[in-house]
């Protein structure tokens, strides 16, 4: 399954990319995150929400089709 | 054409606005929390558009390092309170509206009465404690919240608690770990970014007042000034998050948002260190029947569920050391003390068991 992953804010710094195409067997958000945290250890310990196809979802959300996954951290600045 | 109409002529001739739209602006009251990077453009555009009553709350003073992005201020404002300096500039921009400056910190004590006097709240703060405080106060007082926050070259904007839509807690139920998300002061920001994002906030405020277009209600907009791309994400209302806020609404004034956001930590000390503190007031929050008793320790026994009623009998000046059996109830007790204005409070790691174990050495410690 092909996913497009988008990293926002400090998550793009943790992964050193803003976007990537990923071929993965992960079928839930939590499985996907486990894999990403192995690939990008700096993602561990970061707080963020996940959106699939522009819709915020819970970590038990099932991913079974091609999708765009966005990792959205909170920002503090003003 | 009257002087009033000339001022607003270019927006009144928009068919969607007209004089009735201008009347709506005149009748509306908007409170801006924080007159910094985001607050400045919000204030500038809302004042210019003729929002009838504008409130500005900010305890901070203008610094020279603010001027590259907080474009309301000039060098003459350096050292002055931001709310008052903003009012001075804005009064010159539009003397026909009412501008109230509150040169103070937004707290759980003043938030509810302040919010109640306005129709729309704008979050231009720079830290999570205040953001959660603002969100919860908006939920309790039923006010729409026009939210934005920035990080380096990116910004996020949304409208919360509007037309039964989601709140900030529906997006981020828990604050991030303290210190994990840096501020503009720590990592820097290009001045134009808060200018863009703050202008988007002003736009949302005007849309709400005028009933124009589609408000960012239930939508998080992410903007990247490096790519000039914006993306939107839908957020759903999470009833349980909103209930949490409403359930503790009556205790709102006692909520410690710094504690909630991990900025203030519950201090834990070892049994050995606890004995080293001179004149400490030990409090055992276990039930009276629980063992082991620490006979040789001069302590007050106030079970956790009675603590609230007994707080007034405890000396605030003394250093307070709390223990229970294992350290769980004592941690809750520390939270209660902190919420009620006690400062020097800690709890014993390992609780009564840990204290009991070092009692054979106690004489040595006391003689140190």
**pLDDT tens-place values along chain B, 368 residues long:** 566 679 999 999 999 999 999 999 999 999 999 999 999 999 999 999 999 999 999 999 999 999 999 999 999 999 999 999 999 999 999 999 999 999 999 999 999 999 999 999 999 999 999 999 999 999 999 999 999 999 999 999 999 999 999 999 999 999 998 878 877 777 889 999 999 999 999 999 999 999 999 999 999 999 999 999 999 999 999 999 999 999 999 999 988 898 888 887 778 888 888 888 888 899 999 998 998 888 878 889 999 999 988 888 888 888 899 999 988 899 989 988 887 778 788 999 999 988 888 876 555 444 44
Contact B157, B147 (CB under 8 A): yes
- Any CB–CB contact under 8 A between A57 and chain B? no
Residues 6+ apart with CB under 8 A from B267: B334, B345, B346, B347
> Is A49's CB within 8 Å of B37's CB?
no
- Any CB–CB contact under 8 A between A51 and chain B? yes
> How many C-beta atoms surround the C-beta of residue B277 within 10 A?
16
- Any CB–CB contact under 8 A between A46 and chain B? yes
Please give the ipTM for the structure prediction. Answer: 0.96
Q: List helix spans (H) across chain B.
A: 3-12, 18-27, 39-49, 82-93, 111-116, 128-141, 168-171, 184-187, 192-210, 239-247, 257-260, 271-276, 307-310, 328-339, 351-357, 362-366
- B contact set with A (CB within 8 A): 34, 36-39, 123-128, 131, 148-152, 154-156, 171-172, 174-177, 180-184, 189, 194, 220, 222, 224, 227, 231-236
> Is B234's CB within 8 Å of A6's CB?
no
> What is the interface size between A and B, counted as CB pairs within 8 Å?
91
Closest Cβ–Cβ partner in B150, B171, B233 for A77: B150
Q: How far is A50 from chain B (nearest CA, A)?
A: 10
Rounded CA-CA distance B65/B70 in Å is: 9
Contact B138, B165 (CB under 8 A): no
């Amino acid at each position: 399954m092909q996913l497009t992953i988008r990293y926002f804010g400090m998550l793009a710094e943790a992964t050193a990319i803003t976007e990537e195409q990923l071929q993965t067997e992960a079928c839930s958000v939590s499985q996907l995150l486990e894999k990403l945290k192995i690939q990008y250890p700096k993602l561990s310990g970061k707080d963020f929400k996940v959106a699939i196809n522009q819709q915020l979802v819970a970590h038990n959300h099932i991913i079974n089709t091609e999708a765009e996954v966005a990792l959205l951290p909170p920002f503090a600045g003003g | 054409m009257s002087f009033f109409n000339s001022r607003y002529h270019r927006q009144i001739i928009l068919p969607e606005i007209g004089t009735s739209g201008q009347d709506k602006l005149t009748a509306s009251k908007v409170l801006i929390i924080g007159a910094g990077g985001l607050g400045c453009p919000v204030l500038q555009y809302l004042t210019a558009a003729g929002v009838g009553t504008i409130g500005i709350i900010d305890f901070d003073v203008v610094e020279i390092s603010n001027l590259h992005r907080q474009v309301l201020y000039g060098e003459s404002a350096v050292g002055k309170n931001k709310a008052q300096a903003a009012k001075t500039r804005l009064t010159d921009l539009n003397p026909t509206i009412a501008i109230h400056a509150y040169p103070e910190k937004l707290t759980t004590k003043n938030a509810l009465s302040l919010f109640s006097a306005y129709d729309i709240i704008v979050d231009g703060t720079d830290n999570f404690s205040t953001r959660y405080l603002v969100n919860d106060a908006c939920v309790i007082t039923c006010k729409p919240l026009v939210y934005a926050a920035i990080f380096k070259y990116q910004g996020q904007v949304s409208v919360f608690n509007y037309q039964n839509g989601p709140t900030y807690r529906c997006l981020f139920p828990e604050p991030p770990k303290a210190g994990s998300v840096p501020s503009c002061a720590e990592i820097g920001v290009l001045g134009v970014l808060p200018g863009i994002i703050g202008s988007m906030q002003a736009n949302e405020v005007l849309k709400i007042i005028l009933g124009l277009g589609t408000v960012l209600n239930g939508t998080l907009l992410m903007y990247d000034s490096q790519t000039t791309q914006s993306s939107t994400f839908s957020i759903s209302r999470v009833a349980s998050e909103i209930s949490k806020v409403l359930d503790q609404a009556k205790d709102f004034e006692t909520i410690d948002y710094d504690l909630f956001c991990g900025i203030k930590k519950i201090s834990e000390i070892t049994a050995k260190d606890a004995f080293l503190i001179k004149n400490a007031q030990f409090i055992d929050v276990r039930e009276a029947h629980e063992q082991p008793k620490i006979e040789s320790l001069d302590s007050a026994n106030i079970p956790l569920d009675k603590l609230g009623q007994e707080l007034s009998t405890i000396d605030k000046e003394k250093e307070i050391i709390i223990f229970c059996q294992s350290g769980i109830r004592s941690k809750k007790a520390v939270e209660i003390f902190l919420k009620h204005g006690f400062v020097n409070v800690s709890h014993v790691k390992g609780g009564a068991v840990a204290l009991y174990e070092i009692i054979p050495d106690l004489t040595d410690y006391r003689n140190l």
